[in-house]
Amino acid sequence: MNKHYASAAEAVADICDGATVMIGGFGGSGAPIELIHALIDAGPKHLTVVNNNAGNGHVGLAAMIEQGMVDKLICSFPKSKDPTAFSERYLAGRIELELAPQGTLAERIRAGGAGIPAFYTPTAYGTELGEGKPVAEFDGRPYLQERWLKADYALIKAELGDPYGNLTYRLAARNFSPLMAMAAGQTIAQVGRLVDAGGIEPEAVVTPGIFVNRLVEIADPAQEEVLNQAEARYP
């Protein structure tokens, strides 16, 4: 078994036009900047992207949107300190937005990875985000039906990875990544350090390797917030 790829470029090379791509991270925390930038270099178009946000500044997801690679974004909060990459395109009608409450977004991704096609949640009942969704009552309370979300690829960032794809995450950077790893056909993880088998204690594994297909080692990965403070742009 060898899930190790030599470079981010090789790991994302087959992501083609029209693919659905989940991207881990909450704001900059856990954003796989190097994988995203490699995808920008590869340049597939008409992508549907699933992320909690819509990018910040002119790096990472914001840069992907600026390059015109994204036709549709599924997210909960498309605002940030500098959301212009998304907001200008959205207000001009050049990018589609599917807005989902944050917990519903997370659970839809989890459901996609767990083989649960739909579930019921109280969230958004009676609001414009619930319009048109089937309603059912359980124990006297109304709930909305929500559907699973799956993707062709997931790009995620982890701290440690071993050759089997077992992963750990740093601090609060795990957020959506363990869920997205489950919900994608091909999960591509950039890891800060690739360790030998046994280098991660089995009790410490957060994402088991069965959910991970490709690993790239990126030591000292970039932080979106730090890049933005330096007013960086990509490419």
Partner 1 sequence: MNVRGQLNQEQIAWRAAQDIEDGQYVNLGIGFPEKVAAYTVKGREPIFHTENGVLGFGRAPAKGEEDWDLINAGKKAITLKPGAAFFDHATSFAMIRGGHLDVAILGALQVASNGDLANWRVGSKGVPAVGGAMDLVNGAKRVAVLTDHVARDGAPKLVERCTFPLTGVGCVTRIYTSLAVIDVDIPAARFVLREKLPHLSMDDLQFVTGAKLHVEGEVGNLEVPELS
- Which spans of this chain sit near partner 1 (rule: CB under 8 A)? 26-30, 52, 76-81, 83, 86-87, 90-91, 97, 99-104, 106-107, 109-110, 121-129, 169-179, 206, 223-226
Find the shortest distance in angstroms from Cβ 150 to partner 1: 15
Find the shortest distance in angstroms from Cβ 102 to partner 1: 4
Find the shortest distance in angstroms from Cβ 139 to partner 1: 13
* Residue (93 or 198) nearer to partner 1, CB: 93
Structure tokens at 160: 């440690």
How far is CA 73 from each of CA 23, 127, 144, 223, rounded to the nearest angstrom? 11, 21, 22, 22
* Residue (41 or 225) nearer to partner 1, CB: 225
* Residue (15 or 70) nearer to partner 1, CB: 70
Contacts of residue 107, Cβ cutoff 8 Å, sequence gap at least 6:
119, 121, 146
CA angle 157, 104, 226 (to 5 degrees): 35
Amino acid at 220: D
* Residue (15 or 54) nearer to partner 1, CB: 54
CA angle 98, 100, 105 (to 5 degrees): 115
Do the Cβ atoms of 207 and 170 come closer than 8 Å? no
Find the shortest distance in angstroms from Cβ 50 to partner 1: 12
